[in-house]
Structure 1
Amino acid sequence: MLTMDAKLQTLRDTLIKLQPGIIGASGGVDSSFLAWFAGYWGLDYLAVFLEGPHLSPDEARAARNLLPGLPLSSAVASFSPLDVLEVRENPRDRCYHCKTALLARLRTLGRTGRETVVDGSHLSDRTEYRPGRRALREQGAVSPLAEAGILKEEIRAYARDMGLEQAEQPSRPCLMTRFAYGQMVTNRMLAQVGRAEDALRAMGLSHFRIRIVDQGRCLLHIHSSQRDAAFFQPESIHTIMEQAGFSSFGLECVDTLSGYFDRTSPGVI
């Protein structure tokens, strides 16, 4: 049984004021948590999953399968960030251009009386480099979790209390984040990375990222917490990477997975 603390009450009050609306549902724990509670409280929202090449096949399948289990109406629509030149060119503010296009796509789906678009950004996101926040402000979208002061770990704790299966789901930012800034990205490149990551996940890894550092040079970053899982299966990892088209790659254990290219390419625009 969930206890309604001050933050959840603020979240509920915010969602009540914003309804009817659309929730951008990515399949991750944050937006799933938001959509689940909107439905749990009986509010008027439509959860929309935008499927496209920026997600791996397994990730897209999991998000589609999640929607019917949410206690509110849902829909699936197509979206390709690569339709936007400023996204394909992969500048440092790529996420701003992608989020702008994504919000515009959601708005086209909400013209039947749903004016408000809300997303799953939370308060912890505000401590990291997130150019997409500017798009949220410009488009008039709202992040109710952040407005309620809810942190990432609190989302996981609430989700555990309610028995939501997404509670322990590792963060999986979109596949565009796997490429160094300034590198032109294609559908083929996204598919290649997505195929490899799905296979590595099926092998048992959960905390890792493939990095395309530059044309032809690839790194596989595995979180230090999974060092043993990785280094007891070197042949399987090499087979998966080679079958996906990465005949040569570097394997590194790291303590931090997120924000790699923000740290290594701070001056790229």
Structure 2
Amino acid sequence: MFASMYDSIKDALNSAWNVLLSITPIDIVDMVLLTYLVYLFIKLMRETRAGQLIKGIILFIIAYLISKNIGLKAITYIIDRMLDIGLVALIVMFQPELRRALEKVGRTQLGVRLFGLGETVDEVTSKWSHAINAICDSCAELSSTCTGALIVIERQTKLGEQIDTGTVMHAAPSKELFGNIFYPKTPLHDGAVIMRDGEILAAACFLPKPSKEELINKKLGSRHRAAIGMSEVSDAIVVVVSEETGQISVAENGVLVRDYTKDKLKQHLMEQILPNPSDSWSRKPRKNPFRREKLAKGGDGK
């Protein structure tokens, strides 16, 4: 008996060794890509409602196999017809998740958006430096009076869908203008300001809700929730001033970091938005136009 077991193990090891010897570099690349896709699929199931849907699909398939084996023809026929349209049903059910995944792919550095085609680094830096100073000055003043504010800084992802919900302005940013927009009794205060190319493009814009709103801290108001939702579906930087506490927060990539001071906010925006002086905007886009800094510890994504 032990001899036969030894021979079986030996044959299995020989077969595995022969398979390893036959692997080519293309096969390795294929396996790495497949592993990464499986990882993304598992992550999708864990972080979204997809996990519950997958469980339901598995139960559906099990019910189909059981009914087919024991001869339940009517049930088998119905499930079989439902499985025929399974791909379309999955696309419909996973539409929000698929949209976010494709938007993230589209925000890769393969298609970098230039702040201003043909503009020099000095021109872009001057334009955004003025805008950042206006944002920080206004946030500090609004914070001191506990006046709520919501400012979206557009980057690579175009926000035309949100801009269409508000009032287009095309105005140069200033502390006074931000103060007028967010003053509680003005028509434009209820909504977000969207900035593009260093100017206030639109005000009173409505932003999307976060994907997992039920998991967000109940103490956070509608502005903070809108900021998280906007940062989930785009690469925008969203600055929030709390109406309750005057606290300044920043949302990026679905994460909200709180307790920003004026100086800390200015430093963060300059690092994230201003172009690298060593780049030549007139020749070709640089490989990484925005240095991704790790969000400050102590913030929460609720």
TM-score range, shorter chain: under 0.3
TM-score (norm 2): 0.24
Higher relative contact order (CA 8 A, sep 6+): 1
